[in-house]
Every structure is written in C-alpha cells, then in structure tokens.
Amino acid sequence: MTHPIPQTMGQQFGRRSWAEPWKIKMVEPLRMISRKERQRALEAAGYNTFLLRSDDVYIDLLTDSGTGAMSDRQWAGMMLGDEAYAGSRNFYHLEEAVRTQYGFRHVVPTHQGRGAEHLISQTAIKPGQFVPGNMYFTTTRLHQELAGGVFVDVIIDEAHDPASLHPFKGNVDLARLEDLISRVGAEQIAYISLAGTVNMAGGQPVSMANIRALRQLCDRHGLRIFLDATRLVENAFFIQEREQGYADKSIAAILREFCDLADGAWMSAKKDNLVNIGGWLAVNDDALFDELRNLVVVYEGLHTYGGLAGRDMEALAIGIEESVQDDHIRARIGQVRYLGELLTDWEIPIVQPVGGHAIFLDARRFYPHIPQDEFPAQTLAAELYLDSGIRSMERGIASAGRDPKTGDHHRPKLELTRLTIPRRVYTQAHMDVVAESVKAVFDGREQTRGLRMVYEPKYLRFFQARFERL
Ligand code: F0G
C-alpha cells in the first residue's frame, strides 16, 4: 500500500517553504572559464568529464561521492583524532555509531565503499556462484565478478523505464528471483545484493514491504541479504513519504527497521554519511566477521582503522549521527527535487520520479537521432560542460562496460546523464543556473553529433576512456 508521489515538497509538507537546517560559515570561491577555454579543456580530456581538471569546472555535479560539506562538529571532531595504529578511540566511536543507527553487530572500517565491496565479495562468493541484485552498480558488479561471481539483475521491469512512475522502482522482482533459485539451486547463490536507493536506476528506493517479503523468501531458502547501504538514509526518506504506516516514524527508526531485515551491509560513507573519504562493512555473523577482520589486514589496514586516519573515523562517526536527522534529509532531497521540478516544467526528459541524489537526464529522448553506440549520454555530459562549465557524469553504455564472456558492449536500457547534487554544498541559485544550462543544451539538441571511443581501459572504462567527436 503506497501513497501518491508528491510532485513538490510543498505538497508534502504543507504550503510553507522548506529551507536547509544550517547556515554557511566558510565559502570556497568558484570561477567560470570562457567557452573557448572549455572547448580546449574538453578536447584535452577526451570528452570525458572524469578527465577534466576541477579548476576548469564551474558547478561540479560529477558525483555526490566525497564532495559534501562537513559540519562544524565534524571539523571539530577532526581535531580529536587518536592516531594510534591499534585500538584508536575514534574506531570505537565509529563502531558505536554504526551499531546504533544501522544495527549490525560487527564493524570493519575500509578506505571507501569499494574496499568493503572487495572484502565481502572475496569472503561471501564462491567461484561460479550467482549474485542476484537490484540492478548493477559499476564497482559492486566488478568486485563480484573478480571473486568469480555472476551478477544477475532481479530488479522490477519498471526500473528500466525512465517514464514509469512506480514509487519504488528499486524493488526486487521476487518471482524473477524465485525463478533463478529454482533453476540453479539455492546453494549456487552467494547472497542477495540489495541496494537502497538504486544509483543506476536514478536513485530509486526499495520499499519496506519488498525487503520484508524478500527476507521471507530468503529464509525459506537459507539465503543471506547484504545491503549496499550507501544511500540507505535517502531510501528511508522515500519510505517515510510513500509507504503506508511510515509517515510518523523517524528516519532513524525506518533505517533500523530496514537493516534489521538484512544480514549485513557495505557502505561508501562518502555519500549518506557526510564525509570526504571512508567506508565500512558490517555483519551480524561471527564466523564471517572473523574472516573479514582477517582479510582487511591484507588490503586496507588493521581492523581498527581499515585505511582511515583516526580523525577520518571521528568525522565519519559524527556524520552518521547527523545523516539520520529528519530535517537534514528532507532538505537534501528537497534540493534535488527542486531542480527536477524546474526541468520537468520545461519538458526536459528526466527519469521520473526524481530520486534521492541526482537528476538523471534521459539521453535517449534528449538525442533520439544519436544511436546508443555513439554514446548519447557521454555526448550530453560534454555539451553541458561546453555550455556552462557544469560537470555531470555518463551513466549509460560507457558505464555499463562489456560482457566478460562475449566481449560485446553491455547495452543498458537506461542511457542517462547524471546531475549529482553534493550534500550541503550548493544553493538554490546554483540549481537555477544548472536548469538554465540544461535548457540551452536541450534547445540546441538537433545540431549535436555523437562520439566514438578512441581509448578503452580494461576495468571500469568510463573513468578513463577517451572519445572524439564524430
Ligand atoms: N555502491 C554505490 C551504490 C555507489 O554509488 C558507489 C560509488 C559505491 C558503491 C562505491 O563506493 O566510490 O566509495 O568506492 N559511487 C560513486 C558515484 C562513485 O559517483 O556514484 P566508493
């Protein structure tokens, strides 16, 4: 049972406007270089926004990862770093914060999300096993494959349709999962990899009803659920907004209820948890923890720092506490939705409903004349940078990479360009400027030509690939 999706924050919270629950204490100057300089910078970067220098960028919407602003409390915490090699007091603060807010018993810090993905994949996947998940994420799937796993997408079909208004497009298609289990046998399944929200689908949430049903299915077959908790606080916001019975529950309570249905989680703390670097892995099972605590020493560092300085762990512990506050998350998603409303009013094709961390421009509908093999979403990111110095990210065929068996491109249904909003960094006026630039690029769309890839790295090619204009 779900509520209709409010189109504006005003509809949800009454007529009065919302505002950020903070004010600005320190500023960082921005600079916009000329169009000629941007053209030169773009060519030097091989039309890949990952290869631009940040000094050449005006508004940076490449990612919400590690780009947020820390609070004065977090900065004060940085001064309380206990830089001991072993048993730093900041680790125990972090452990307590994860246990309290996410509810898992054992915590292993890592340098960032993919460090945790590596550890869980190496310990919980046997070569040849399947790893069903609600849509792939680039680093997550790669680590599963490097451990010998085979990723299987079991997200509902609506997730692949940018126009579908399904309120929980991150949900698992339980029939599809059941079918996989009956075909290959439960012992051939490593675990369920469940992300909330789903990044590649447009920041779309998973409902509580879905994970509850998933838990029951997994209990019947003796399967574990591990969460990608990177943006799970944002997921909790959508449950509070859209799912019957949650309107009066706090974000913190919803987060705990969700996690209590899983066996563990990995985290890129650079997102929800409001730090510039950091990650963690948390599980309930003692034996698995024992293995993880051993393996972390090989790749990250001792199990009480996992690649982080004491001060980083302190900022992270405080960030976790701040991230679950209702007024924080409401303003965070309110800003994303504000930008979405501007673009929707101008009839610019974006993934609907607007998700948690970003606006995803639908490059297929933006450039219907550019075939997918000519990288429409990459083209759109380049055009946006040329127009205004705004940096965005391709989330289409370049990001999807190649099938490891056939060597052909994965050709995802979603061909998107992501305008990712850093947390607590930009103002509403910045969002206006972004919307106007997207509109200008949209108005010139018919003249735009696609790209061809002239350099392709072996792993995660989108980060370092180079392109030329056709
Ligand atoms: N899982 C999700 C859902 C992510 O979005 C990311 C990173 C990771 C795992 C990996 O974490 O970067 O700390 O190693 N996403 C970034 C992005 C890079 O821009 O979406 P990491």
| DSSP character string of 246-309 | -TTS-HHHHHHHHHTTSSEEEEETTSTT--SS-EEEEES-HHHHHHHHHHHHHHT--TTTTT--
pLDDT beyond 70 at 13: no
pLDDT of residue 264: 98
Q: Is the CB of 65 under 6 A from ligand 1?
A: yes
Q: Are 155 and 172 in contact (CB under 8 A)?
A: yes
Element (H, E) at 468: strand 466-469
- How far apart CA 221 and CA 225 sit, in angstroms, is 12
At residue 127, φ and ψ (nearest 5 deg) are -50, 135
pLDDT of residue 8: 61
Give the closest residue (by CA) to ligand 1 atom 4: 230
CATH class of 72-323: alpha beta
Q: Is the CB of 63 under 6 A from ligand 1?
A: yes
pTM (2 d.p.): 0.95
| Residue-wise pLDDT tens digits, 123-155 | 999 999 999 999 999 999 999 999 999 999 999
Give distance in angstroms: CA of 171 to centre of ligand 1. Answer: 19
pLDDT beyond 90 at 321: yes
Q: Is the CB of 113 under 6 A from ligand 1?
A: yes
Give the closest residue (by CA) to ligand 1 atom 2: 230
Q: Which amino acid would we find at residue 447?
A: Q
- How far apart CA 344 and CA 438 sit, in angstroms, is 11
Active site residues: 85, 137-138, 228, 271, 395, 462
Give distance in angstroms: CA of 65 to centre of ligand 1. Answer: 7
- Architecture in CATH for domain 9-60+326-469: Alpha-Beta Complex (3.90)
What does the block give as tokens for 447?
A: 């003249």
Q: Is the CB of 305 under 6 A from ligand 1?
A: no
Q: Which atom of ligand 1 is nearest to the CA of 279?
A: 13
> What is the arithmetic mean of pLDDT over 177-181?
98
Give the percent of the chain with pLDDT over 90. 96
Q: Is the CB of 140 under 6 A from ligand 1?
A: yes
> What is the arithmetic mean of pLDDT over 51-59?
98
The domain limits of the chain are 9-60+326-469, 72-323
Instruction: Give, for ligand 1, the residue of 62, 112, 117, 137 to mutate: max count of ligand atoms closer than 8 Å to Cβ.
Output: 137
User: DSSP secondary structure string, 416-440?
Assistant: EEEEE--TT---HHHHHHHHHHHHH
